[in-house]
Chains A and B, each alone.
Chain A
Amino acid sequence: MKSIGGLLTLVLLCLAPHALTAQEGVRAQLEARGLPAELVGDVVALAADAAAQGVPTEPIANKAIEGWAKRVPPQRITAAVRQFYTRMVQAQIAVRASGVADPPGELLASAAEAMGRGFTQEHVGAVVEAAPEPAAAGHGLSVATALQAQGLGPDRAVEIVTGAMHRGQPVAEILDMPSLARAMQARGLSPGQVGEQLMLGGGGMQGAHGRPPGSQPREGQRGERGPRRP
Chain B
Amino acid sequence: MSEGNRLSQNAHRYLDGEPHGELPEAERVQTDRLLEAVRAYGESLPALDETLDDAVLAAVRHRRPARRRTGWRWLMEPREVRMRPIWAPLAAAAAVVLLWVGTRGPLGPEAPALTPTVAADTVFVRFELMAPNARDVWLAGSFNDWRAEQLPLAAGAGGVWSTTLALPLGEHQYQFVVDGERWIPDPTAHAQVDDGFGGTNSVIVVGPKGVVRS
Interface 9-residue window, one of A38-46, A194-202, A220-228: A220-228
> Who on chain B is nearest to A11 by CB?
B94
Could you say which of B125, B188, B192, B211 has the most chain A C-beta atoms within 10 Å of its C-beta?
B211
Give Cα distance in the complex from A83 to B197, angstroms: 11
Asked if B196 and A84 sit within 8 Å, CB to CB, the answer is yes
Chain B proximity mask over A65-104: 1 for CB below 8 Å, otherwise 0: 1110111100011001101100000000000000000001
Task: Check B13 for interface membership: any CB of A closer than 8 A.
Answer: no
The residues in B between 125 and 150 inclusive whose CB is less than 8 angstroms from any CB of A are 125-128, 140, 142, 145-148
Task: Check B151 for interface membership: any CB of A closer than 8 A.
Answer: no
Asked if A179 and B112 sit within 8 Å, CB to CB, the answer is no
Give Cα distance in the complex from A226 to B212, angstroms: 10
Given contacts A25-B111, A172-B121, 5 further A-B contacts (CB under 8 A): A70-B195, A106-B112, A175-B207, A223-B126, A223-B127
Q: List 8 A-B contacts (CB under 8 A).
A: A25-B107, A105-B113, A109-B112, A113-B193, A172-B119, A172-B121, A208-B209, A229-B123
Contact of B197 among A54, A72, A224 (CB under 8 A): A72
The residues in A between 101 and 133 inclusive whose CB is less than 8 angstroms from any CB of B are 104-106, 108-110, 113, 116-117
Asked if A108 and B122 sit within 8 Å, CB to CB, the answer is no
Contact of A146 with B205 at beta-carbon distance under 8 Å, contacts A1-B83, A69-B140 already known:
yes
Chain A residues lying within 8 Å of B145, measured Cβ to Cβ, are 33, 62, 65, 69
Asked if B197 and A226 sit within 8 Å, CB to CB, the answer is no
Asked if A139 and B118 sit within 8 Å, CB to CB, the answer is yes
Task: Check A138 for interface membership: any CB of B closer than 8 A.
Answer: yes
Give Cα distance in the complex from A229 to B214, angstroms: 23
The 3 closest A-B pairs by CB, nearest first: A105-B112, A225-B210, A223-B213
Chain A proximity mask over B53-88: 1 for CB below 8 Å, otherwise 0: 000000000000000000000000000011110010
Asked if B191 and A150 sit within 8 Å, CB to CB, the answer is yes
Asked if A80 and B124 sit within 8 Å, CB to CB, the answer is no
Give Cα distance in the complex from A72 to B194, angstroms: 14
Contact of A227 with B206 at beta-carbon distance under 8 Å, contacts A58-B114, A63-B196, A222-B188 already known:
no
Could you say which of B112, B213, B214 has the most chain A C-beta atoms within 10 Å of its C-beta?
B112
Task: Check B8 for interface membership: any CB of A closer than 8 A.
Answer: no
Asked if A179 and B209 sit within 8 Å, CB to CB, the answer is yes
Shortest beta-carbon distance, B157 to chain A, in Å? 13
Give Cα distance in the complex from A57 to B110, angstroms: 7
Contact of A173 with B94 at beta-carbon distance under 8 Å, contacts A22-B108, A138-B116 already known:
no
Asked if B118 and A146 sit within 8 Å, CB to CB, the answer is no
> Who on chain B is nearest to A175 by CB?
B207
Task: Check A59 for interface membership: any CB of B closer than 8 A.
Answer: yes
Asked if A209 and B191 sit within 8 Å, CB to CB, the answer is no
